[in-house]
Structure 1
Amino acid sequence: MARVWIEDRANHADYQQAVEKWQAAKREGSKRQPPGRWRVRWYGPDNKPKAKTFAKLPQAEAEKDAITARLDKGSYRDPQSAKAAVKVVAEEWYRSLRRQGRTTKHDYRELLDNYVIPRWGDWQIGAIRWEDVSDWIDDLIEKPGKSGRKLGPARITKIYRVFAMVMKRAVQTGRIAASPATEHELPRPNEDDEHVYLTHEQLEQLADAAGDYRRLVLVLGYCGIRWAEATAIKAGRVNIDTRRIRIVQGYTDVRGALELGPVKNHEKRSVPLPRSFADELRELTAGRKPDALVFTAPEGGPLRYANFRQRMFDPAVKAAGLDGLGITPHKLRHTAASLAIAAGADVKVVQTMLGHKSAAMTLDVYGHLFPDRLDEVADALDAGRIAALEKLRASLTEAA
């Protein structure tokens, strides 16, 4: 049994002194509540003594029964732990991250500093209710974000998930019994805005309009690699003879500085090069040192996404007559996936090209592009049924 008991403080010197002070204050008009005579005492799971006082015995008895039940069932939470500020738990959670890459951790830090901590930082972790979180999501949808523009569905979802991970940390560390950041309805992403699929002709027009960066656009549009991966390709990792590019690293912008690190999800892979433009890359790699970057900024060094878009890519999109589609260097991954699927690539091939963690993720994003093959299934079922009927009729004929 759990060790929980009630202590009568009537004869305790500290209690008697507190009563005298309270009576003196009351005579002067104070409305302060009298000191608690009944003290519930217990030892928590950490074997440290705890105590809580009450003015009336029935209140103390009810608390004693409740604490005893929670200790017996293993659902006990230290009342003081729920008073921790959200910003304290948020920093604990952030410091505990071990597997995330630099870019992911940078994104989490930005979302914490711009949205989670400003809203919840000074709240006690145990004071947050489900409806408080729901109201906050409404605010994220309706009010402008840090940039002054309304937040998109994907951004809101990321902010909410960071907050939910902080709340999960509070549950795991025993501060609260259940997270208030569960089962909330989030805004649905507009997939038409997220995906842009160019045809072969449109991709070639865009590549031609990109001038010196024609080959970079083709690599993005046919190989499906990420921008960070494309800008980190080194000459020694391009094999023109086997038509493969080895993807092992990527550049990330961390507080304004480009840093070279592992690829997302740590999914090192080789991606295929179409034969029709593989030889064009030979010019960029021939005679260069193996660790030399294949695609560089005009002044040398790695390409920066914002500079490339503003100076080269966006003007090329306009020159190719593709403005209005919402095409970006990153969204050329969608084009690569759609063209590969149209060419007959199965889901595992597309997964490898894109560096997705699983085939399920690839299907979640591009499943609607794969042929449904329903007619093939129906035809096969039809053939099986016809064969079974013919066999049945033959057996009935023999029996007759």
Structure 2
Amino acid sequence: MLATATSTARSTRATSTARSTQRWIDEVTASLVTGQYVDPRSAKKPFKEYAEEWRAIQPHRPSTAKAVAQHLRCYVYPAWEKRALGAIKPGDVQSWITSLTTTHKLAASTSRTVFNTVNAVFRAAVRDRMIPHNPCTDAKLPSVPRKKVVPLAVEQVRTLAEEIPRRYKGLVLLGASTGLRPGELFGLQLRHVDLLHATVSVEQQIQQTAKHGVYVGPPKTARSHRTVPLPRMAVDAMKAHLRDFPADGPEGWIFTAPQGGPVVYTHFMDGSWRPACAKAGIPKGTGPHALRHHYASLLIKHGESVKTVSERLGHTNAAMTLNIYTHLWPDSEERTRAAVDKAYADQSADAQPQVDEAA
């Protein structure tokens, strides 16, 4: 009896093992056929080794490349430098995200930016069949408190334009009347400005690189390529600027550094923008992007649609515009009440009994 029971148990275990083996073979075969197979040896590659390979082939702009390298060096490699790609689990990622705010004291928005870098590395690892799943999926990120944009008033912009060095007065007025990003303003050449038809074309931008160099590259996104109408004040400002600071031919820069050549952001901020803001009584910490917000607020105040504001600013979509500026659209409470009251008033009139004149 005992021998029979033992034999039966062995047979059951053998059958179970055979079924598990066959199931594993079937899964591997299916993944090979569908191109989803991941060699377990790939997952053993150290995170840093793969991340550096990934970073080296990315088509990042200089500023983005610098930020990505800093994210990895300062906040990621200390935690996972020698960890194998496949050994980093969702729980490890969640714990690391929490440490960004608790240990490193990063702001929620910065933590999200650093996380995006790590998430990009793991997404690439999944695409490269290094690991089967992205451990960043469904991670919980710190919430970012929404800050309401407070645009500069017209008088503040006028005062700023008077206080800033004369070579940048036109830059302030052009930024306030077109909503171009700082890099887009710095990247303007004479060929981009059509004073006859009162338009400016955004085809490139300038970004600062290491050691105060500059990089001329494409606009931020595909939607950032755009043509913006110039109001009369912008045309007049450009005429005055080009009279005092002529561009060197069609390829010449509209705005230049005091020593010549394109504007370098940090030099512009330290030597011109911040001192001018202080003289104009503009709050400390206000950057050139405030001119873009000012332009958007003027369009909204004068009844432009979300679609138009989005197109002028070169936003990716209208949702992005609403996310930033929704609080600036005029309050429609009275229009809402009037619309409903009118509808019901019309219905009440229609429902009035008809008087029989014959009676």
Normalising by the residue count of structure 1, what TM-score does the alignment of the two structures yield? 0.74
After the TM superposition, which of the residue ranges 368-377 and 286-295 deviates more from structure 2? Answer: 368-377
Contact 2:174 2:237 (8 Å CA) reproduced: no
Distance in 2 of aligned mates of 1:397 and 1:170: 82
Distance in 1 of aligned mates of 2:37 and 2:261: 57
Q: Once the 2 structures are TM-superposed, how far is the Cα of residue 372 of structure 1 from its aligned partner? A: 4.9
User: Which segments of 5 or more consecutive residues in structure 2 lack a partner in the other structure?
Assistant: 1-12
1:332-355 residue CA offsets vs partner (Å, 9 max, x unmatched): 322221222112222222212221
After the TM superposition, which of the residue ranges 70-79 and 176-185 deviates more from structure 2? Answer: 70-79
Q: Going by fraction, where is helix more abundant, 1 or 2?
A: 2
Partner of 2:7: none
1:207-245 residue CA offsets vs partner (Å, 9 max, x unmatched): 211131222122222321111110111122222233221
Q: Once the 2 structures are TM-superposed, how far is the Cα of residue 374 of structure 1 from its aligned partner? A: 4.5
After the TM superposition, which of the residue ranges 292-301 and 196-205 deviates more from structure 2? Answer: 196-205
Distance in 1 of aligned mates of 2:160 and 2:69: 36
* Aligned counterpart in structure 2 of residue 297 of structure 1, from 251, 257, 265: 257
1:124-179 residue CA offsets vs partner (Å, 9 max, x unmatched): 111112221122112211334xxxxx433222111101101111222233333332
Q: Is 1:94 aligned to residue 24 of structure 2?
A: no
1:311-345 residue CA offsets vs partner (Å, 9 max, x unmatched): 11111111111234x31112332222122211222
Q: Is 1:383 aligned to residue 342 of structure 2?
A: yes
Q: 1 or 2 for the larger relative contact order (CA 8 Å, sep ≥6)?
A: 2
* Aligned counterpart in structure 2 of residue 283 of structure 1, from 236, 240, 243: 240
DSSP 3-state at the match of 1:221 = helix
Q: Once the 2 structures are TM-superposed, how far is the Cα of residue 306 of structure 1 from its aligned partner? A: 0.8
DSSP 3-state at the match of 1:323 = coil
User: Which amino acid in 1 is paired with 2:242?
Assistant: T
Q: Highest CA radius of gyration, 1 or 2?
A: 1
DSSP 3-state at the match of 2:251 = coil
Distance in 1 of aligned mates of 2:123 and 2:331: 39
Partner of 2:24: 67
Q: Is 1:263 aligned to residue 263 of structure 2?
A: no
> Number of paired residues?
336
User: Which amino acid in 2 is paired with 1:121?
Assistant: E
Question: After superposition, where does 1:1-400 map in structure 2 within 5 Å?
Answer: 64=21, 67-68=24-25, 70-71=27-28, 74=31, 77-94=38-55, 97=58, 101-144=61-104, 150-192=105-147, 195-212=149-166, 213-256=168-211, 257-266=213-222, 267-286=224-243, 288=247, 289-324=249-284, 326-394=285-353
User: Which amino acid in 1 is paired with 2:291?
Assistant: L
User: Which amino acid in 1 is paired with 2:182?
Assistant: W
1:175-219 residue CA offsets vs partner (Å, 9 max, x unmatched): 333322122332333443x73411111111222111312221222
Contact 1:101 1:264 (8 Å CA) reproduced: no
Distance in 1 of aligned mates of 2:68 and 2:307: 30
Distance in 2 of aligned mates of 1:76 and 1:234: 51
Distance in 2 of aligned mates of 1:83 and 1:59: 29
Q: Once the 2 structures are TM-superposed, how far is the Cα of residue 248 of structure 1 from its aligned partner? A: 0.8
Contact 2:62 2:215 (8 Å CA) reproduced: no
DSSP 3-state at the match of 1:294 = coil
Contact 1:232 1:249 (8 Å CA) reproduced: yes
Distance in 2 of aligned mates of 1:113 and 1:375: 54
Q: Once the 2 structures are TM-superposed, how far is the Cα of residue 67 of structure 1 from its aligned partner? A: 1.6
1:62-95 residue CA offsets vs partner (Å, 9 max, x unmatched): 8625524633764764332322222243245435
Distance in 2 of aligned mates of 1:82 and 1:63: 23
Distance in 2 of aligned mates of 1:113 and 1:332: 34
User: Which amino acid in 2 is paired with 1:275?
Assistant: R
Gap change, CA 1:89 and 1:380, over 3 Å in 2: same
Contact 1:85 1:122 (8 Å CA) reproduced: yes
Distance in 1 of aligned mates of 2:151 and 2:178: 14
Q: Once the 2 structures are TM-superposed, how far is the Cα of residue 305 of structure 1 from its aligned partner? A: 1.0
Gap change, CA 1:284 and 1:201, over 3 Å in 2: closer
Contact 1:70 1:76 (8 Å CA) reproduced: no
Normalising by the residue count of structure 2, what TM-score does the alignment of the two structures yield? 0.82
User: Which amino acid in 1 is paired with 2:64?
Assistant: T
Q: Once the 2 structures are TM-superposed, how far is the Cα of residue 258 of structure 1 from its aligned partner? A: 0.8
Q: Once the 2 structures are TM-superposed, how far is the Cα of residue 366 of structure 1 from its aligned partner? A: 1.5
Gap change, CA 1:387 and 1:131, over 3 Å in 2: same
Gap change, CA 1:384 and 1:108, over 3 Å in 2: same
1:34-73 residue CA offsets vs partner (Å, 9 max, x unmatched): xxxxxxxxxxxxxxxxxxxxxx979965862552463376
